Structure 1
């Protein structure tokens, strides 16, 4: 698979944007082992205590994300990224239940780095992949069967059209225990240097593959 492309109009709107891509091959996904479930639960409890003292909306990384949305003329309150929704749940004391090993690690990393991280079944995607802004002609059916307009929203798209976004849940390439090849899309903190971005992706990749095996490729997309 060729590395995804960053659309020029997106780069023009947010010149500092950095997208990390990890493609993983020949992995094995299963129920999360007790070690991962325990670590995930402990991390949530520690984070909840931190959020009781300092609400997530005061975090600098959250403010950086909101600044990017404002650059796209989008309301941060109406376009919450997946990372912020996870932080909301933890702050409210709602336990994030285990789904499977790949999803659990993905949510763990999203909370740890406070960034949206998308996870897809690579074999359900088609042709070239582009990270782009939604067009007037783009419409998708949300998980509640409502038609959603996505103009100016951040989208992941293949030859069939949009397949996901860091802002809303729309996943026609959902990862399950039967998945053997995955695509992860990291919406990195724009304040990270290129070296820091590579280090984050390498650390995330090690954690993912220590549990799932297989091989991977890492790409960093930027201007």
Structure 2
């Protein structure tokens, strides 16, 4: 499987970076109590932080709103996933535990203040490209409705779009039957490449500590816009 950044992205945001973890031999199940407790505690701390601080004042949220605008999307109309999560928490509408993969995905997103997506690699067909959606781009999302993705970043395979920093598709959702997954970190462009790889690698290590299996970490950027994963 080859993963690519559309060259047009780098023309608009030359410092754009995408972190990738490819997991094999993982076990997705009910989250251990440690993870459930950590996710709950983190949300409670965020709730009190948000009492004195606007969601848009968080550095990662603020930076990703600017990225959103750069590609032509309206960050107030179509909020990226992390901002949407934080706004839920500000209303004390905490995330409930789902399963280990989704819980870790949400934890990383809130911790790093960036959109993060996880996809069942066996449901991805062919190569993957990150590009900007057109008026014809869209899919049935995990939010239970069809989502139009014009001017929003999209991950696409041979079948079409399946993921974005906005909302992910139902087609490639991770379940408790998943054994191989692609974990995508929509990194802050201001991060250096070395820092980006450290973050991605650390997240992969935590993921496999809970879900077992193996992880390979990569970062796509201006000097390495594509990589090939041997499956």
TM range (shorter): over 0.9
Task: Give the distance between the partners of 1:29 and 1:123, measured in 2 at CA.
Answer: 14
Kept after mapping to 1: 8 A contact 2:18/2:184? yes
Alignment of 1:197-208 (within 5 A): 197-208=196-207
1:5 — aligned with what?
Answer: 4
Task: Give the distance between the partners of 1:139 and 1:106, measured in 2 at CA.
Answer: 22
- CA gap of 1:139–1:85, structure 2 versus 1, over 3 A, is closer
Kept after mapping to 2: 8 A contact 1:164/1:172? no
Instruction: State the Cα deviation string for residues 112-154 of structure 1 (Å, max 9, x = none).
Output: 0010001100000100011111134434344577554323210
- CA gap of 1:128–1:71, structure 2 versus 1, over 3 A, is same
Alignment of 1:108-123 (within 5 A): 108-123=107-122
Kept after mapping to 2: 8 A contact 1:55/1:91? no
RMSD, matched Cα: 1.5
The DSSP-based 3-state class of the residue aligned with 2:139 is: strand
Alignment of 1:32-111 (within 5 A): 32-111=31-110
What TM-score, normalized by structure 1, do the two folds share? 0.94
- Residue-pair matches, total: 222
Matched, 1:25 2:9: no
The DSSP-based 3-state class of the residue aligned with 2:67 is: helix
- CA gap of 1:71–1:103, structure 2 versus 1, over 3 A, is same
1:177 — aligned with what?
Answer: 176
The DSSP-based 3-state class of the residue aligned with 1:162 is: strand
Once the two structures are TM-superposed, the CA of residue 42 in structure 1 deviates from its matched residue by 1.0
Task: Give the distance between the partners of 1:217 and 1:203, measured in 2 at CA.
Answer: 11
Alignment of 1:157-196 (within 5 A): 157-196=156-195
Moved more, 145-154 or 178-187: 145-154
Task: Give the distance between the partners of 1:144 and 1:30, measured in 2 at CA.
Answer: 21
The DSSP-based 3-state class of the residue aligned with 1:190 is: coil
2:152 — aligned with what?
Answer: 153
Structure 2: stretches of 5+ with no match in the other structure: 223-231
What TM-score, normalized by structure 2, do the two folds share? 0.91
